A and B are shown apart, each in its own frame.
Chain A
Amino acid sequence: MQIKPVLAALRHHKAGTLLIAMQIALTLAIVCNALFIIHARLARLSQPSGVDEPSLLVIGNEWAGKPDTDQIASLIAADLDTLRKVPGVANVYATNAVPLGNGGNVLGMGHSPDKFQRVADSAYYFADENTLPTLGLKLVEGRNFRPDEIGQVDGKGTIQPSVVIITRELARLMFPHESALGKPVYISARPSIVIGVVERLRTPFVDSSMAKWADNSTLVPYRWLIPFTRYVVRVQPGQLDEVMHHVRAALYAANRMRVINPKDGMRTFAQVREQAYRDDRGMAILMSGISVILLLITGAGIVGLTSFWVGQRRKQIGVRRALGATRHDILSYFLTENLLIAVCGVVMGGVLAVGLNLWLMKQFEIDRLAPGYVLAGVVTLLLLGQAAVLAPALRASRVSPVEATRSV
């Protein structure tokens, strides 16, 4: 292979070589970090929530005029009745929060009441006997709540359930080697017996800081008697629009003294998911856009500079051709030249990429870059470089030997 003459020629235009290599290095550093961010965001976007999303409707209801606790209990009971009577409604329950709903309550869970000995953080959902069938949760062990187990609680933090249902992930954290069923856990001063384990139920939070325990959820058998209540409605297949249309009117007709926010008081679960991951999707789009622009500009830059070099060396090419070099020799000369520059670029770029990632990790709590991304970036840029150089190199290979005799 003709590496020696290529190196000799490169020494003659050091600056241009260095600029292309630098551009490739910087592009690689940015693109593989961007790819990494995109992939992390998309991975979060597609995480399952564990609930039967297509048939769920979430209503946020607030009572006006400060009803007291007893009034709220009967108001909620009346609302649940009203909702059940709406045609197309399959099931309904009242709660404090929904998965991905961004807003909920958290408790530490441990094997003793000592608050500093917690084993895991867990989101908790107020639930009743209708919660599992409404959400479509899959019980992998144990049983559902019984109606007589559902308690009432009026304010913050006084829940002391005697029984709970937890997710499989939480059960695994609490009891790594055995079944959690029938065992006591502590989320308050009193023990709560695990009566059921569901396959999966996401927490309401999509923050990356809470991603570590995204599947730690606990269902507590309580009705929460505060002025703000969420109703989760399961509709019969294909009736989502229909039900959505009637539910608000039915609730207002039953009782006017309430607030259902016209903007987001009533959402399908698809909308809940949409809103929860809006930022992540946005970031992914933004990073993709920037990566594409970067690759295009780098590619175009290589085309531009190589074209210039080809133009500059027409005479030498002509001489080489006159001395017997084939078209293929010329073509492979330029491809080799670009490959050499690009390899230098991607080596620098790999180091830069890791450096940039380390800096981002320190500044923004981003994960460590997996080597696969650098590798993907390296391959992409080498291919891009070869593709970009192809057109000018072909043009060079078509330079006729006669050029050797011409002056510029």
Chain B
Amino acid sequence: MLSYYVDLALRSLKRSPGLTLLMILAVGFGVGASMTSYSVFRAVSGDPIPWKSSRLFVPQIDIWGPQGHLDDTNKGDPPEAMDYTDAVALMRDHRAKFQSAMYQISPSVVPADPSMHPINVGGHAVYSEFFPMLDVPFKYGSGWGTDSDEQRAAVVVISSKLNQKLFAGANSVGKTIDIDGKDYRVVGVLDNWNPKPVFYDVVNTGGFTTDQQDVFVPFQRAISAGMPNDGNTNCSEIPKGSGFVGLQQSSCVWIAYMAELDDKAAAAAYKDYLDGYFRDQKAAGRFSWPLNNRLRDLPAWLESEHVVPSDTKISLVVALGLLVVCLVNTAGLLLAKFLRRSSEIGVRRALGAPRAAIYTQFLVEAGTVGLTGGVLGIVLTWVGVWGVSWVLPKEISSLAHIDLSLLAITLLVAVIATMLAGLYPTFRASRVQPALQLKTN
């Protein structure tokens, strides 16, 4: 029976090609636009580390007090990053399973080959627990041990991309590279690891950046080597000392911090510890304002940092609006199409077809339009994702991609949405009075 209805649908669609084409175009454009926006949205709003994001936490300590965040933008939240004093104190206390303070660096690497110019690399100064905490994959070697943290050892973990550039992709563990004029021993080479957003340091990277993460060096090593912070520095007052050392002694915030806490109890205990730390510092005369700490897990943190760019969200909203208009449009056209066939329906009903049969017939017809529109939608989504690179910023558009699930969703959305749009017209069609139609003929 179904094949008969499909046949009927095709005949009916062929009978008024203009109207049919219009519906298919509407569904296709609506679905294409919204799926293109969705692919971008999906790329930037995804969970970068789904298997443990709920166990990763970002602590915030209100070291500036209410006057320090007069800017109305952060709504009374404490500073998003840490100053040096507190980051190091938290690392020393070591109350989480894993934790790492980190800051963005941009040293220069001087290749051994004298014919090559020095190159700029991006990266982070981190503690050894950074690697196990974030499940960082290694191609060769591994991260460094806690002893290297303490000894401020000149060791480095490099990206596979930098490894390709400097060592032609060979296992370089044990070799040395020249960073800012000093030799560092390579202890590990990352496998392809490029999480988006750069969730461990949203504060300094802004989440999405085309900068590469090429080197990771021990935090205290970078401090003593004077590798300046390449990320943001926010100060509520001008540092008293000068230069990088002055920054370390100041209340400026520039260090990102992340801790792994395995269950609710551990998170609660850590929050207590943070609050206790604040009270101790307050008792010591450092703060004069009430406690205002935060401990957010990663999803909540990304949300509060507005990691998904608002342009992406606006585009999605507007594209979904386009889809709705297209569906209203399709509903109107389907209504016209179905009611035009009132007499046909009347005949079928008079010959004994139940309402359900009419429903099936017209929903199949709507579904056929949806399916065809969906195929057009797939083509348009493909064009859209390809074209988005010259409309949206590169660090975002490069993340949008087409995969099987997107194609399946496109088709599904097209068919379901069109059938929903066809629901009312079908209802109207099924209400046609057989006797009345036969009479007027």
A binding-site residues for B, Cβ under 8 Å:
15-16, 19-20, 22-23, 26-27, 29-30, 33-34, 37, 62-66, 115-116, 153-158, 188-189, 209, 226-227, 252, 256-259, 261, 278-279, 282-283, 285-287, 290, 293-294, 297-298, 300-301, 303-305, 307-309, 311-312, 356, 360, 363-366, 407-408
Contact = CB atoms under 8 A, between A and B. Distances in A.
Given A297-B29, A297-B326, 6 more contacts: A23-B332, A66-B181, A155-B242, A298-B329, A300-B22, A308-B336
Contacts of A66: 180-181, 226
Contacts of B310: 363-365
B119 interface: yes
A151 to B, nearest CB: 13
Given A26-B324, A65-B110, A301-B329, A158 B25 contact: no
A158 B67 contact: no
Contacts of B180: 64-66
Contacts of B319: 290
Q: Is the interface of B mostly helix, strand, loop or mixed?
A: helix
A298 B325 contact: yes
B321 A30 contact: yes
9 contacts: A33-B318, A65-B118, A65-B180, A66-B181, A156-B242, A157-B235, A188-B238, A300-B22, A407-B441
B33 A19 contact: no
Interface residues of B, number: 65
Contacts of A33: 318
B260 to A, nearest CB: 32
A65 B119 contact: no
B297 to A, nearest CB: 23
Contacts, number: 175
Contacts of A209: 73
Contact of A115 (B110, B120, B236, B314): B236
A279 B393 contact: yes
Contacts of A363: 310, 313
- Of all A-B residue pairs in the complex, the 9 with the closest CB atoms, nearest first, are A155-B243, A308-B336, A64-B118, A19-B332, A282-B391, A301-B329, A65-B181, A64-B108, A364-B310
Nearest to B23: A304
Contact of B119 (A259, A293, A303, A364): A259
Interface in B377-408: 390-393
A154 B315 contact: no
Contacts of A283: 311, 314-315, 391
A261 B120 CA distance: 7
B329 A64 contact: no
B331 interface: yes
A301 B26 contact: yes
B398 to A, nearest CB: 13
B243 A290 contact: no
Nearest to A17: B332
A116 B314 contact: no
A148 to B, nearest CB: 22
A157 B428 contact: no
A361 to B, nearest CB: 11
B247 interface: yes
B354 interface: no
B313 A64 contact: no
B313 A285 contact: no
B340 interface: yes
Nearest to B120: A259
Contacts of A290: 33, 318-319, 322
Nearest to A280: B311
What does DSSP make chain A's interface, helix, strand, loop or mixed?
helix
Contacts of A30: 318, 321-322, 325
Given A27-B325, A155-B247, A297-B29, A20 B332 contact: yes
Nearest to A118: B70
B347 interface: no
A19 B335 contact: yes
Contacts of A153: 242
Nearest to A158: B242
A286 B391 contact: yes
Interface in B300-317: 310-311, 313-315, 317
A155 B333 contact: no
B238 A157 contact: yes
B108 A285 contact: no
A278 to B, nearest CB: 6
A304 B19 contact: yes
A286 B315 contact: yes
B67 A116 contact: yes
B246 interface: yes
B118 A258 contact: yes
Nearest to A225: B243
B392 A297 contact: no
Contacts of B18: 304, 307
Contacts of A189: 238
A20 B328 CA distance: 8
B320 to A, nearest CB: 10
A304 B246 CA distance: 72
B39 to A, nearest CB: 14
Given A16-B336, A257-B118, A287-B318, A26 B325 contact: yes
A142 to B, nearest CB: 26
B314 A305 contact: no
A26 B70 contact: no
Contacts of B120: 62, 259, 261
A229 to B, nearest CB: 14
A252 B332 CA distance: 68
B233 A156 contact: yes
Q: Which of A22, A307, A308 has the most CB of B within 10 A?
A: A308
B244 interface: yes
A370 B421 CA distance: 33
B424 interface: yes
B181 to A, nearest CB: 4
Interface string B332-368: 1101110110010000000000000000000000000
A65 B119 CA distance: 11
A297 B25 contact: yes
Contacts of A26: 321, 324-325, 328
A279 B325 contact: no
A1 B236 CA distance: 70
Contacts of B25: 297, 300
B117 interface: yes
Nearest to B32: A293
B246 A360 contact: no
A156 B315 contact: no
Given A37-B314, A226-B228, A293 B29 contact: yes
A23 B315 contact: no
B237 interface: yes
A75 to B, nearest CB: 14
